[in-house]
Structure 1
Amino acid sequence: MSTETTASVSTHILDTSAGRPAAGVAVRLAARTGRSAEWTALGGSATDADGRCKDLPALPEGTTHVRLDFDTEAYLRRTGTGPHVPDQQAEAQQDAPRIRDSGVFFPEVAITFAVTPGEHYHVPLLLNPFGYSVYRGS
């Protein structure tokens, strides 16, 4: 596939609560050829020790929209950076809606963005237990 007729995508994740890259996060890539078109799963990868996915699948010709799905739950549980309810509050929260089922507030992050053929899109995810931010990088 020529980069003149397709866009390309890369990403990385920084755990802002720890101040380091988020390694071992599964990332899935999907694409579609218009707003009303169905999503096509293209495959995925996992972040390396530097928090980067270096082997995301290529986008098919005609792609107009891309979705990156980050499986943040496993990472946040593994690193212990998910939210924790102190013991004295646990009883008070028994009747309240709970986020504790999975142990994390954001078990996954899905980012959808539009692309133009021939351009590269680097979309970093800045992650912490109660928030995240994304931007178009370089």
Structure 2
Amino acid sequence: MGKLTTHVLDTYTGRPAAGIRVELHEVSDAGPVPIVERTTGDDGRCTGPLIEGVRFRKGRYSLTFHVGEYFRARGVSLPDPAFLENVVVPFGIATPDENYHVPLIVTPWSYSVYRGS
């Protein structure tokens, strides 16, 4: 069985993004279903997998990274409204026996995401 992990790098400061709130939702025809909410640690990673085992199954998901509150908490002056308040990453799990790692690289004005392993 595979697992889903994530981490966040803050390229505005050049450091791992500690303290970003991350939400995982399963996306169904009826709408998003919350699965877990975590906060990144000092290394920018959530402790342990967001989902694994029998709960890690084929389907559509989304990760929401609360980047606006993160940058404000670090004293970054953001406009109102912020250019990026939340980064929402929709993705699919096609092969649940593989590991899925979804890293986010972020500044107050840009982001990049990819599938790692």
**Shorter-chain TM-score above 0.5:** yes
Distance apart, 1:9 and its partner CA: 0.9
Deviations 1:46-97 (A, max 9, x none): 00000001232447254411211111111110113354xxxxxxxxxxxxxx
Aligned: 1:106 with 2:84:
yes
Structure 2: give runs of 5+ residues left out of the alignment.
none
Residues 12, 62 of structure 1: alpha-carbon distance in 2 compared, 3 angstrom cutoff: closer
Q: C-alpha root-mean-square deviation of aligned residues, in Å? A: 2.0
- Report matched runs for 1:1-138 at 5 Å: 3=1, 7-32=2-27, 36=29, 38-55=31-48, 56-58=50-52, 60=55, 62-83=57-78, 100-102=79-81, 104-115=82-93, 116-138=95-117
* Paired residue total: 114
Q: Secondary structure at the match of 2:55?
A: coil
Q: Which runs of 5+ in 1 are unaligned?
A: 84-99
Aligned residues with identical type, % of pairs = 39
- Greater Cα radius of gyration, structure 1 or 2: 1
> Helix, strand or coil: the match of 1:54?
coil
Q: Normalising by structure 2, what TM-score?
A: 0.85
